[in-house]
Structure 1
Amino acid sequence: MEIRVVSYDHPDAVLLIDEVQQEYVVRYGGPDGTLVDPAEFAPPLGLFLIGYLDGVPVTCGGWRAHDDGVVELKRMYVAPAVRGRGLARAMLAELELTAKQAGNVRLVLETGQAQPEAIALYRSSGYTDVPKFGYYKDSEASIHLGKSL
């Protein structure tokens, strides 16, 4: 897989973000309601990555500033046709590496109970429960995790 830095509003990013939002509609009944400004994913305070297989965009993820030295992971996604090949783990590792290289010390994220495969990925990668935050802080279905980088 080739991983490239792109803008949050790059056409390939928009395509995959639309796909992940549709996945949320299927799993939760609606898209992610968290407000996102594409500028939040621009260096140095953020970054957005796309993973390509044979030139086709198949996975994405990004991080944005959350608190001093803490960044929030958003829009982790792998297209259904290529799941089960380790692409999510590779993308997560690259997101962690780039966040650390940018001087951050911790990564946090929100996910939900309807995404058991995501929860398993994060927990097996060393993420543990953190205090709830953000748009879904009052949702019982929301799970908030973090990891020191």
Structure 2
Amino acid sequence: MNGRTAVIAWPADPPVRAMVEELDRYFHALYPPESNHLLDIDTLCQPEIRFFAVFAGEEALAIGGCWLKDGYAEVKRLYVRPSARGRGLAQLVMRRIEDEAMICGRPIARLETGIHQPESLSLYRRLGYAERGPFGDYPVDDPNSVFMEKRLG
């Protein structure tokens, strides 16, 4: 991880926005529109969202955040640029997200990911996330979604 840290980031800042847009393109290539549950930049800037990034100079290498909900935090927008993968940055951002959830009194982290993201599924399992049923406003019958949860602390 080379001493890097996940810092608080503003999703509308150009290097972070560029990564969110890159992630949008990636998801749109993998899944049909009804299976993309993406938060836009305006939503990511709301007070109930905490967002983080790992930078190398001015370039964002990894992003991710959490949406603080009643009783839990939902992991949103975890992404590492392909050129920066294999350095532990996703794990670094996830640790920061989980720490933030705990600081904000959310003892559970939940997430929705897709069936076509084996690396993400493997990462979440390694970090202690277990599959569960749909939560929140997610459709219960989306065959492309995988729902996971972890008790924090």
Common fold: TM-score over 0.5? yes
* Rounded Cα–Cα distance in structure 2 between residues aligned with 1:63 and 1:101: 12
In the alignment, is the contact (CA less than 8 A) between 1:41 and 1:62 conserved in 2? no
Deviations 1:12-48 (A, max 9, x none): 22111001111112222558344557356544x3200
> Is 1:15 aligned to 2:8, yes or no?
no
CA RMSD of aligned residues (A): 2.1
* Aligned residues of 2:72 and 2:108 also touching (Cα < 8 A): yes
> Aligned residues, how many?
147
Alignment partner of 1:4 is 2:10: no
- Structure 1 spans left out of the alignment, 5+ residues: none
User: Runs of at least 4 residues of structure 1 off by over 6 A?
Assistant: none
Task: Return the alpha-carbon distance in structure 2 between the equivalents of residues 40 and 15 of structure 1.
Answer: 14
Query: Percent of aligned pairs with the same residue?
Result: 29
What's the CA shift for 1:84? 1.1
Partner of 1:118: 120
Counterpart mapping for 1:64-143 below 5 A: 64-66=67-69, 68-133=70-135, 134-143=137-146
Task: Supply the AA of the counterpart residue of 2:102.
Answer: K
CA distance in 2, matches of 1:37, 1:58: 18
From 40, 43, 58, the equivalent of 1:55 is: 58
Q: Return 5+ residue gaps in structure 2 as ranges.
A: none
